[in-house]
Structure 1
Amino acid sequence: MTIFEKIIAREIPARIVHETDEFIAFHDVNPQAPVHVLIVPKRVIPRLAESAPSDAELLGRMLVASREVAQKLGVVESGYRMVINSGRDGGETVPHLHMHLLGGRHMTWPPG
């Protein structure tokens, strides 16, 4: 089981911000911005590169929910960044697709 599966199963505590039957959003334990939340599907999709057309609705609902999460965290007006890492060179560290919601500071471009 990945760390995300253990959080979903409540085997590891997390600061949960939002949850539905399909996904969960919680604060990252190694934040890269003042606001850093992960939005994780409860069904394991190893990485974006392994997603299927049948995952489109779930991934869309997760993206749409990012606005509600950003609202709860007070960054919807100032702005936030959504990031999905896929594969080693993409910065993926946990083999369970997840979206990073980063905010609370100015984001620069290009990212690292």
Structure 2
Amino acid sequence: MRKRNCRFEVRFTKDELSDLTKKARKARLSNGAFIRRAVSDLEVKAAPPADVPTLIREVRRVGHNIDQILKIANSQGLVDVPQLHKALEDNRTVEKVIVKAYTMPEA
């Protein structure tokens, strides 16, 4: 059985429907999903450009590499460990900012 089994009909002018469709496409949502998010008071953001998921993946990869270097440096006393800790914290901060800016809350 369908989860959403209650129907509601709304009539739009051509301009209103066009605006709704443009906003929904910008957010990469269907018109229905866009309206449900708006009614639920969820923030509807424009979808990120296609390369943002790649950017997030790369930032995470760099963070993982820094973490591995930190573990080796810490065990062998080779490099300035506090500076590496700071680099790792900065990387994680950047990752959180990117993820928060470009991901949509789940409905």
Q: Same fold (TM over 0.5)?
A: no
Higher share of residues assigned helix: 2
Higher share of residues assigned strand: 1
User: TM-score, normalised to structure 2's length?
Assistant: 0.28
> Could you say which structure has the larger radius of gyration?
2
